[in-house]
Structure formats: structure tokens, C-alpha cells
Amino acid sequence: MPSDDILIRPTDETDIPALTEIYRHAVLHGTASYEVEPPGEAEMLRRCRDLTGRGFPHLVAERGGRVLGYAYAGPYRPRPAYRFSVEDSIYIAPDLHRAGVGSRLLAALIEACEAKGFRQIFASAGGGTENPASVRLHEKLGFRTIGIFEGSGFKHGRWLDTVLMQRPLGPGSSQPPEEAEPRN
């Protein structure tokens, strides 16, 4: 699938059923999410509204009316000093892995986070070495591995590592931010 015909846009409430199905598959069959029971549409809508209501970007990739995947940024940690740092999440329809959707979504998410004045973006690649596609995707877009949380999750009958990755946004930590109200 050519990635140039993919539309990246803000998530709309009508996208929630598709997002719920994409995430359901990831929860039940993958290690990217450490949830073990997939949430329903009402909970997915609540989560989306919570993030967008606090000014965090939430995006979908669409082609021909089909939602191909989604990505969002949320608070890295709840304390006010972290208000310029976000953590990303990205999920792609299972039949579209390695089709360029993730790269387009993550690039757009990075751009949206920079436009909102965030200075650092973190990724927690659940499944660690068992999820090399997520690590490669993030590396491709300028993230670097800054640590590994060994045995940080137990899912599908085994212990999983989490790879922590980071990428500066805009000037990063090279200069103070313009003061803003805490978002977290």
C-alpha cells in the first residue's frame, strides 16, 4: 500500500469502533500493551476525550474511509515539572504492519507535539526484544534507547521487558520553555 495516499487527521468520535477493534487485537495477541482485557468502546471514547480535552494530540491514519491505525500522546508523568514531556502510543491494524502506516502516524504525532510546545517525547516499547518493530519504528524517527526495564510485565505466560526510548522535540532541553500552564 503506498503510504502517500494515507490521510492523517485528528481522531473523531466516529473512529472509536475501529480504534477499539485495533486495540483489542493488540491487547489479546500482542505485547505492545500491558493490558490483558481489552476495553470496550465506551472506555476507549472516555480515554480519547480525556486526552484531547487536556490538549494532547490523538490522530488516526485513514485510507478510503478505513481507519488503518491510530497514535496519541499523553502525559509522561503526573507531576507538574513533567508538563513538557509526553509519552506516545501507536497501534496499527494487524494486516497493515510494515506498510508505512506507523511511520506516517508517528511523524505526524511528533509534529503535533512540537506544535503544542512539548519538548520531550518518550516511548515505552512493551515486549522489549519481542517487539522489535516498535523499536525500529521509533529509531527510524529519531528516538534512542535510554533504558530497558527487565521483566517489567507478565503477559501471555511470560515475563516481558520494556524498552524506554526518548526523542527531543523542537529545541528539547537546550533552552527553557515558554512558560505555560501545566497540562498533566
The SS3 assignment for 29 reads: helix
Find the angle CA(136)-CA(141)-CA(142) to the nearest 5 degrees: 100
Q: What is the reported pLDDT for 183? A: 59
- Domain around 125: 3-168
CA distance 69 to 75: 21
What is the domain-level CATH number for residue 106? Answer: 3.40.630.30
Quick check: is 175 in a domain?
no
Task: Please state, for a pLDDT cut of 70, what percent of the chain lies above it.
Answer: 96
Is residue 182 pLDDT above 70, yes or no? no
Quick check: is 57 in a domain?
yes
| Count of structural domains within the chain | 1
Q: What is the reported pLDDT for 178? A: 79
The model's pLDDT over 153-175, given as tens digits with 9 standing for 90+, comes to 999 999 999 999 999 999 999 99
Quick check: is 178 in a domain?
no
pTM for the structure as a whole:
0.93
Phi-psi group of 121: left, alpha or beta (phi > 0 → left; psi -120 to 50 → alpha; rest → beta): beta
Q: What is the reported pLDDT for 97? A: 86
Quick check: is 181 in a domain?
no
Quick check: is 179 in a domain?
no
Quick check: is 82 in a domain?
yes
Q: What is the reported pLDDT for 128? A: 77
Range with the poorest average pLDDT among 44-48, 131-135, 137-141, 142-146: 131-135
Mean pLDDT of the chain: 93
Quick check: is 180 in a domain?
no
